[in-house]
């Protein structure tokens, strides 16, 4: 074969005709010329060397040839056959010629029954695309069979309509077959979908095609269909739906398909069995589901034709490449400006689509000499462990060759690291028609270490043998993989951070099972473990029945001069394939500020990248920056704490008050007493704002909560209005409203509280809340607190004077009604349960303190089954229209209380707001059972004349990663679908705590929506999104929807990156989710 051939073909045939002719073969030389659609003709190709027989063209034989053409041809239009024979013995009958174009994958079947005589050129211009010639011949023979024997059969006629996906690549010329099944276990033969009197049919993108078919079986009511074809990869079809009408019964069956039938897409299926599910929606009413481009499309095609792209990545990877240095002083050119592509081959033989390494995270000009580039990429295929890597560029110019040294790929889902090394003779990184196939390194070490091993000696032989003996015993039964990152401390990160001391670890699960103490002795990656800025891997095993991992102990047994900086510990459970990340960021050193060589860590991050989380923490704390405020190697944080005591005479206290800070990773500070420097105690005087300076050795991240506590007897506690905490390192201030008593004799009798709700209003602008009377003055509490009669009298006197102030500032009387449904509220430990109400305005500012709903006007025991209770309350300086949200909570038993509604009415104006709760209050958080509600109606709750029967849902959405900033605007809508109804598009514009959604990594945003459409069951959802800025994206892990009317939970896994390219700016895109389960989404 000529080396300049650029198109290869494989020919099956010619085949001798067995139709009563004594001789059909030939000994002459056969020649073939190929004509394309543009009129180009190939050179004469001699068919001499059959790959099947030494003597080709014998009677009844099939011969194969590998050929090529010098001329570049544009597909195939017809064939020209001839031979050089001169007598009758050289006449030849060819039954068919089948050509497969290896460049496009298309096959062309040319059938024929003519004899090829001397000096005659046979022109074959009638072909069937992508169907084997054996099948074509079989159909031709079957069409000639006498049909008289079938006239007595009971035949059924059907009209089949199909809809092809709207994307360019969805269409196909592949033959599609259908088989029908009925309720009597009968099934039809496979029937090809094609128009009458046509050999083929083109399923055009977006088209609806109609076919008339007949089944020889007397089928009854249809129960299912089977759709199939036999084409190779990327020759398949994307179908939206298939409609089958029984013409005899005039009954139509709709089968939603909404998927690929292609070996190269998703699950690789080319046949599927669809059961019939009765529905009132016709196929024509079904929305189009095809929103993502096929992996066949090139970048240019996507940019010009795809308007709504959703990247449904099933596999996510981090790719790192290093461009080599070569030549004198390493200055020879090794980079490239060509486009570089990869394909990932997994251990099961599945292959990803072509993935371009396009946007380097590290450099604007990627693939430069000696540079390392990182890329985040994804594949729409579900791939397992990596086995091989295919690498190429789109440049045919050798002068633009690329000299890569290695490619390292990290599976973001499993954290598996695969290393692919490019040898010297593979220096160009592949060209378009010469892809490199790289094998994964067996030792699976990161590429930098592998390259280092090429230039230095391997491990000490005795050490290596001991290590391998240990690992071989553990690997076969090792339950956990432990990954530990040693940090870098000191000026510019160059100080000592590693250790040679023995290191140990103990792990716990959520049921308090604990392992033995494991010594981390043999790293699978390094001989010298725990070196500065190094990641080590270990294998450990325990026979304890661990359900998960909830905490760990880590320590070393070095001397006082042994310090070790630990960045993080990541543990992978080989049984469940779940990873647990523990950010540590602590120096284990007797001489450090913490003076500790051990650490206890809780609350791991599940299935997240420890590396990214740790870098984010370091960035927020500026560990390596040189600051005038902090020494470069000091991890302590300085805070300014300000508190305000209620202005009631009894609100002050000399009781010691303690503070604990909690960051977004649930890392907690030690308990800190609030007192002035060098003072034994502190008097929190009524109405005072006090300021304290504290220093924490712990490197906390962004704060999410604070815990306040004290230890005092009844009526010796404290009433706090608010606490403000300022991080002196970055000047960020956190305001946490308190607005409650910490006292055993007040309200819920608590002397400790954890505050999660931050105020968007500065603390010094919050209104005083102690104007709401404390519960200590009601008759019931007076009877219980007779020993404190003096305190109560004082409180009453002061409160009476405050009541006079209420009248001056415009107090309002309200009536609160609550309706209890089927579940009464029960108290704990022999005491009555209490229900509390918080009220907020439209700016999410709490406009009253916690109001205890007590002394029901119509029932001695409130909150009982089917009872409506009325309570009178007084709230100063508030109008009914100011109320926008309520918090409702109780301190009763965990089995909960079913509240139907809460109604608030101004008794002077009769203005009313009804909050339809219709919810179980049974989720424990900070020892209280709480529910937040923002949806209301401005009518009485039991006014049936005007009430709209809204359906309420709580929506929780888990964001994994995001690059959205607070300044980015976006529009998010959701649409819910039941079996026969669907809601309107509902905007998700405000979380229940009034925060910007989708702006934080590894966060959960909660929304509350209502709709007048009642759905019997939730079948699918559509998630609409639109960005105002270019190149914005965020990845969602799941969407959880709770129907508040029945408590049913629907969890829709997402695990996709949602993005918007420049071409789609200003266009709304939609993500359709059909698969869900009725379990809460995991964290």
* Same-domain pairing of 1034 and 928: no
Q: What percent of the chain has pLDDT over 90?
A: 12
From CA 1034, how far away is CA 578, in angstroms rounded? 22
Min mean pLDDT across 131-140, 144-153, 985-994 is at 144-153
Sequence-distant (≥ 6) Cβ neighbours of residue 584 within 8 angstroms: 554, 566, 567, 568, 569, 599, 601
pLDDT of residue 929: 53
Torsion sign (Cα): 802, 806, 809, 814: positive
* Same-domain pairing of 823 and 926: yes
- Give per-residue pLDDT as tens, 360-411: 876 767 888 778 888 888 888 888 888 899 988 877 555 557 888 889 898 8
On the CB side of 647, how many CA atoms lie within 13 Å of its CA?
9
CA-closest candidate to residue 65, choices 73, 57, 77:
57
| Long-range contacts of residues 394-400, Cβ cutoff 8 Å, at least 24 apart | 394/338, 394/339, 394/341, 394/432, 395/336, 395/338, 395/339, 395/431, 395/432, 396/431, 396/432, 396/433, 398/428, 398/431, 400/336, 400/337, 400/338
From CA 223, how far away is CA 278, in angstroms rounded? 10
Per-residue pLDDT band for 697 (boundaries 50, 70, 90) equals: confident
Question: Are the beta carbons of 702 and 664 closer than 8 angstroms?
Answer: yes
Min mean pLDDT across 242-251, 626-635, 748-757, 807-816 is at 626-635
Res 894 pLDDT > 80:
no
Q: What's the mean pLDDT in 495-501?
A: 70
- Give per-residue pLDDT as tens, 753-809: 988 878 777 888 888 876 543 333 333 333 333 333 333 333 333 333 333 333 333
How high does pLDDT run on average in the chain? 75
What is the residue-wise DSSP string for 606-624?
ES--HHHHHHHHHHHHTTT
Q: What's the mean pLDDT in 685-692?
A: 90
Residue 466 sits at φ, ψ, to 5 deg, of -65, -45
Give the domain-ending residue among 586, 621, 656. 621
- Across 855-865, b (16+ Cβ under 10 Å) vs e yields ebeeeeebbee
Res 245 pLDDT > 90:
yes
Res 1038 pLDDT > 90:
yes
Q: What's the mean pLDDT in 425-438?
A: 63
Per-residue pLDDT band for 594 (boundaries 50, 70, 90) equals: low
pLDDT of residue 449: 58
Per-residue pLDDT band for 832 (boundaries 50, 70, 90) equals: low
From CA 427, how far away is CA 401, in angstroms rounded? 8
What is the total count of domains within the chain?
Answer: 7
From CA 953, how far away is CA 1045, in angstroms rounded? 8
Per-residue pLDDT band for 1052 (boundaries 50, 70, 90) equals: very high
What is the residue-wise DSSP string for 783-841?
HHTGGGHHHHHHHHHHHHHHHHHHHHHTEEEEEEEEEE-S-----STTS---EEEEEE-
pLDDT of residue 595: 66
Question: Are the beta carbons of 907 and 814 closer than 8 angstroms?
Answer: yes
* Same-domain pairing of 40 and 86: yes
Per-residue pLDDT band for 949 (boundaries 50, 70, 90) equals: low
- Give per-residue pLDDT as tens, 67-91: 888 778 877 888 888 877 665 555 6
pLDDT of residue 197: 65
From CA 933, how far away is CA 926, in angstroms rounded? 19
What 3-state DSSP class applies to 647? coil
Lookup result for tokens 């404290």: 718
CA-closest candidate to residue 530, choices 519, 546, 540, 516:
519
* Same-domain pairing of 665 and 728: yes
Question: Domain range for residue 1052?
Answer: 951-1073
Torsion sign (Cα): 662, 665, 670, 675: negative
* Same-domain pairing of 643 and 564: no
Tokens of 826: 């029960």
Query: How many C-beta neighbours within 10 Å does residue 553 have?
Result: 16
Min mean pLDDT across 176-180, 1043-1047, 1068-1072 is at 1043-1047
* Same-domain pairing of 990 and 1046: yes
In a domain, 940, yes or no: no
More confident residue, 788 or 349: 349
From CA 334, how far away is CA 339, in angstroms rounded? 14
In a domain, 300, yes or no: no
Res 715 pLDDT > 60:
yes
From CA 723, how far away is CA 475, in angstroms rounded? 52
Torsion sign (Cα): 851, 852, 858, 863: positive
Tokens of 63: 């011969």
CA-closest candidate to residue 67, choices 34, 96, 19:
34
**Burial bucket for residue 616 (CB in 10 Å: 0-12, 13-18, 19+):** middle
φ/ψ bin of 994: left (φ > 0), alpha (ψ from -120 to 50), beta (otherwise): left
In a domain, 361, yes or no: yes
pLDDT of residue 312: 59
Q: What's the mean pLDDT in 47-54?
A: 79
CA distances from 99 to 136, 257, 264 (A): 14, 32, 22
Question: Are the beta carbons of 845 and 766 closer than 8 angstroms?
Answer: yes
In a domain, 946, yes or no: no
Asked whether the bond before 14 is cis by omega within 30 degrees of 0, the reply is yes
Q: What's the mean pLDDT in 977-998?
A: 83
What 3-state DSSP class applies to 133? helix
* Same-domain pairing of 677 and 700: yes
Res 1042 pLDDT > 60:
yes
Min mean pLDDT across 492-501, 559-568, 658-667, 1064-1073 is at 492-501
* Same-domain pairing of 116 and 194: no
Q: What percent of the chain has pLDDT over 70?
A: 74
In a domain, 650, yes or no: yes
Query: How many C-beta neighbours within 10 Å does residue 292 have?
Result: 17
Please state the pTM of the whole predicted model: 0.26
H or E segment to which residue 904 belongs? strand 898-906
pLDDT of residue 494: 40
From CA 407, how far away is CA 380, in angstroms rounded? 21
From CA 774, how far away is CA 782, in angstroms rounded? 12
Q: What's the mean pLDDT in 228-245?
A: 88
pLDDT of residue 315: 85
Lookup result for tokens 């993108």: 205
In a domain, 943, yes or no: no
CA distances from 345 to 90, 261, 411, 418, 428 (A): 50, 21, 13, 12, 21
Min mean pLDDT across 158-162, 164-168, 330-334, 567-571 is at 330-334
Res 319 pLDDT > 80:
yes
Res 734 pLDDT > 80:
yes
Lookup result for tokens 């083929």: 200
pLDDT of residue 182: 92
Per-residue pLDDT band for 345 (boundaries 50, 70, 90) equals: very high
From CA 203, how far away is CA 318, in angstroms rounded? 38
In a domain, 359, yes or no: yes
Question: Are the beta carbons of 788 and 715 closer than 8 angstroms?
Answer: yes
Per-residue pLDDT band for 917 (boundaries 50, 70, 90) equals: confident
Per-residue pLDDT band for 990 (boundaries 50, 70, 90) equals: confident
* Same-domain pairing of 962 and 1030: yes
* Same-domain pairing of 488 and 601: yes
In a domain, 169, yes or no: yes
pLDDT of residue 132: 77
* Same-domain pairing of 105 and 173: no
Res 927 pLDDT > 80:
no
Min mean pLDDT across 51-55, 87-91, 682-686, 1050-1054 is at 87-91
From CA 1038, how far away is CA 1036, in angstroms rounded? 6
Q: What's the mean pLDDT in 5-29?
A: 44
Q: What's the mean pLDDT in 13-21?
A: 34
Beta strands 237-246; 251-261: pairing state:
antiparallel
Give the domain-ending residue among 96, 118, 140. 140
Question: Are the beta carbons of 196 and 213 closer than 8 angstroms?
Answer: no
Residue 1000 sits at φ, ψ, to 5 deg, of -125, 135
* Same-domain pairing of 135 and 159: no
Beta strands 898-906; 986-987: pairing state:
unpaired
Res 183 pLDDT > 70:
yes
pLDDT of residue 62: 82
From CA 101, how far away is CA 7, in angstroms rounded? 8
Res 295 pLDDT > 50:
no
- Domain with residue 650: its CATH number is 2.60.60.20
Residue 880 sits at φ, ψ, to 5 deg, of -60, -35
Sequence-distant (≥ 6) Cβ neighbours of residue 999 within 8 angstroms: 962, 964, 965, 966
pLDDT of residue 1061: 59
Q: What's the mean pLDDT in 50-62?
A: 78
Q: What's the mean pLDDT in 970-979?
A: 90
Tokens of 423: 């040898």
From CA 832, how far away is CA 356, in angstroms rounded? 66
pLDDT of residue 3: 31
More confident residue, 268 or 13: 268
CA distances from 903 to 820, 910, 940, 942, 1007 (A): 12, 12, 7, 9, 22
From CA 1049, how far away is CA 1018, in angstroms rounded? 9
């Amino acid at each position: 074969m000529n080396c300049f051939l650029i198109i290869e073909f494989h020919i099956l045939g010619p085949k001798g005709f067995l139709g009563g002719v004594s001789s059909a073969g030939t000994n002459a030389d056969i020649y073939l010329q190929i004509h394309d659609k543009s009129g180009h003709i190939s050179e004469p190709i001699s068919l001499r060397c059959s790959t099947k027989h030494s003597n080709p063209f014998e009677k009844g034989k099939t011969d194969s040839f590998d050929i090529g053409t010098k001329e570049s041809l544009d597909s195939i239009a017809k064939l020209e056959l001839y031979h050089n024979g001169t007598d009758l013995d050289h006449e030849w009958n060819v039954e068919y010629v089948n050509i497969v174009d290896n460049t496009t994958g298309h096959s062309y079947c040319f059938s024929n029954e003519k004899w090829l005589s001397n000096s005659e050129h046979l022109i074959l211009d009638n072909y069937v695309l992508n169907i084997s010639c054996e099948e074509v011949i079989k159909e031709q023979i079957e069409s000639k069979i006498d049909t008289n024997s079938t006239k007595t059969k009971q035949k059924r006629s059907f009209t089949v309509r199909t809809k092809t996906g709207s994307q360019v690549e969805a269409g196909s010329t592949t033959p599609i077959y259908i088989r029908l099944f009925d309720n009597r276990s009968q099934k039809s033969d496979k029937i090809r979908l094609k128009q009458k009197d046509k050999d083929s049919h083109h399923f055009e993108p977006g088209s609806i095609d109609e076919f008339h078919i007949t089944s020889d079986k007397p089928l009854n009511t249809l129960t299912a269909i089977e759709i199939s074809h036999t084409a190779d990869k990327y020759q398949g079809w994307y179908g939206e739906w298939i409609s089958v009408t029984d013409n005899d019964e005039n009954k139509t069956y709709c089968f939603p398909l909404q998927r690929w039938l292609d070996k190269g897409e998703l699950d690789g299926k080319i046949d599927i069995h669809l059961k019939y599910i009765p529905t009132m929606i016709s196929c024509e009413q079904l929305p189009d589901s095809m929103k993502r481009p096929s992996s066949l499309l090139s970048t240019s095609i996507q940019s010009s034709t795809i308007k709504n792209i959703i990247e449904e990545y099933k596999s996510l990877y981090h790719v790192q490449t290093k461009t080599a240095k070569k030549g004198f002083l390493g200055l020879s050119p090794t980079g490239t400006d060509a486009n570089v592509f990869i394909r990932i081959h997994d251990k099961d033989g599945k292959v990803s689509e072509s993935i371009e390494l396009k946007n380097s995270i590290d450099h604007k000009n990627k693939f430069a000499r000696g540079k390392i580039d990182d890329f985040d990429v994804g594949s729409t295929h579900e791939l397992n462990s990596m086995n091989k890597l295919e690498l190429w560029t789109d440049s045919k110019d050798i002068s633009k060759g690329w000299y890569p040294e290695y490619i390292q790929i990290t599976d973001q889902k499993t954290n598996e690291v695969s290393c692919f090394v490019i040898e010297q003779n593979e220096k160009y990184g592949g060209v378009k028609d010469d892809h490199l196939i790289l094998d994964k390194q067996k030792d699976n070490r990161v590429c930098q270490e592998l390259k280092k091993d090429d230039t230095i000696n391997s491990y000490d032989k005795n050490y290596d043998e001991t290590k391998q003996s240990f690992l071989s015993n553990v690997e076969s039964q090792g339950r956990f993989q432990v990954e530990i990152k040693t940090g870098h401390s000191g000026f510019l990160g160059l100080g000592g951070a590693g250790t040679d001391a023995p290191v140990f670890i103990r792990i716990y699960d959520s049921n308090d099972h604990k392992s033995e103490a494991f010594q981390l002795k043999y790293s699978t990656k390094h001989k010298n473990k725990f070196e500065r800025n190094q990641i080590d891997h270990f294998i450990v095993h325990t026979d304890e029945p661990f359900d998960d991992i909830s905490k760990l102990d880590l320590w070393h047994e070095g001397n006082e001069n042994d310090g070790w900086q630990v960045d993080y510990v990541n543990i992978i459970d080989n049984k469940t394939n779940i990873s647990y990340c523990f950010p540590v960021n602590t120096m284990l050193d007797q001489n450090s500020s913490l003076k500790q060589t051990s650490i206890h860590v809780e609350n791991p991050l599940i299935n997240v990248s420890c590396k990214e989380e740790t870098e984010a923490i370091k960035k927020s704390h500026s560990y390596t920056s040189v600051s005038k405020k902090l020494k470069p190697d000091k991890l302590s944080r300085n805070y300014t704490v300000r508190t305000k005591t209620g202005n009631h005479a009894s609100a002050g206290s000399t009781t010691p008050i303690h503070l604990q800070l909690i960051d977004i990773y649930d890392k907690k500070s030690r308990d800190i007493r609030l007192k002035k420097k060098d003072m034994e105690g502190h008097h929190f005087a009524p109405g005072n704002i006090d300021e304290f300076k504290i220093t924490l050795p712990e490197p906390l991240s962004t704060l999410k909560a604070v815990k306040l506590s004290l230890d005092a007897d009844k009526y010796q506690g404290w009433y706090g209005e608010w606490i403000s905490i300022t991080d002196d390192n970055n000047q960020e201030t956190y305001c946490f409203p308190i607005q409650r008593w910490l006292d055993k004799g007040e309200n819920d009798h608590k002397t400790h509280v954890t505050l999660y709700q931050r105020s968007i209003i500065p603390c010094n602008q919050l209104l005083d809340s102690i104007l709401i009377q404390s519960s200590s003055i009601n008759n019931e509490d007076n009877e219980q607190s007779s020993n404190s009669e003096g305190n109560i009298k004082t409180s009453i006197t002061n409160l009476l004077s405050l009541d006079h102030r209420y009248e001056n500032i415009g107090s309002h009387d309200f009536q609160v009604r609550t309706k209890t449904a089927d579940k009464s509220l029960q108290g704990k430990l022999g005491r009555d349960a209490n229900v509390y109400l918080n009220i907020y305005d439209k700016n999410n500012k709490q406009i009253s303190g916690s109001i205890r709903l007590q002394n029901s006007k119509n029932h001695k025991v409130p909150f009982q089954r089917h009872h409506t209770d009325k309570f009178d309350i007084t709230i100063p300086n508030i109008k009914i229209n100011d109320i926008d949200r309520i918090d409702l909570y109780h301190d009763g038993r965990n089995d909960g209380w079913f509240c139907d509604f809460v109604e608030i009415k101004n008794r002077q104006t009769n203005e009313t707001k009804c909050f339809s709760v219709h919810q179980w209050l049974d989720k424990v958080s900070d020892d209280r059972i709480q529910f937040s509600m923002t949806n209301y109606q401005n009518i009485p709750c039991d006014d049936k004349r005007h009430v709209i029967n809204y359906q309420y849902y709580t929506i929780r959405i888990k964001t994994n990663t995001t690059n959205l900033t607070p300044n980015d605007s976006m529009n998010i809508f959701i649409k819910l679908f039941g079996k026969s109804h669907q809601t309107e598009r509902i905007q998700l514009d405000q979380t229940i705590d009034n925060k910007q959604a989708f702006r934080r990594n590894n966060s959960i945003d909660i929304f509350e929506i209502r709709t007048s459409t009642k759905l019997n069951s939730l079948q699918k959802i559509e998630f609409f999104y639109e960005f105002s800025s270019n190149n914005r994206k965020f990845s969602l892990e799941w969407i959880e929807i709770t129907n508040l009317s029945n408590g049913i939970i629907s969890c829709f896994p997402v695990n996709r990156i949602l993005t918007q390219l420049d071409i789609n700016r200003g266009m709304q895109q939609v993500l359709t989710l059909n698969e869900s389960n009725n379990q809460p989404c995991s964290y």
